[in-house]
Amino acid sequence: NVSDLQSLVVNSDLGYQVYVRADRERLGQWDLMLMRYVAGSEMAEPLLLTSEGRTYVVGIGDLLIADRPGPSPPPEVTFRFVQRVGFGDRPAPEGRVYRILLTYTVVQNV
């Protein structure tokens, strides 16, 4: 499964780096009623991010996905997510979805 093209726009007159990290190593089933992850129900493969011809494994550590030197770097960082689905991955039952929380951090060069 491949996502639509995603973009992050950074308006900066200095160079910058963009990092992404997740709250877990793999997408996990999320109970919509209890509002929490269900233990032991993760996808077999990690979430992948593709950007500028490179593919990265998204996990709980900070992952550098863009390094834009200044001055006046391009403002847009584009990427797609890829989730491989294996034979052992089951559809989420009613009331659950597969979820992962991503955090993006932009650091300016000073």
What is the tens place of the pLDDT at every residue in 34-57?
999 998 899 999 999 999 999 999
Short-list 110, 105, 102, CA closest to 49: 102
Angle at 50 between CA 6 and CA 37, to 5 degrees: 75
* pTM (2 d.p.): 0.89
Domain assignment of residue 1, yes or no? no
Token couple for 44: 């077999």
Domain assignment of residue 66, yes or no? yes
Short-list 99, 110, 104, CA closest to 38: 99
Domain assignment of residue 104, yes or no? yes
Q: What is the mean pLDDT of residues 53-82?
A: 94
Would you state the pLDDT for residue 76? 93
Q: Which domain holds residue 32?
A: 6-108
Domain assignment of residue 12, yes or no? yes
Domain assignment of residue 46, yes or no? yes
Would you state the pLDDT for residue 110? 74
Would you state the pLDDT for residue 70? 83
pLDDT level of residue 103 (50, 70, 90 thresholds): very high
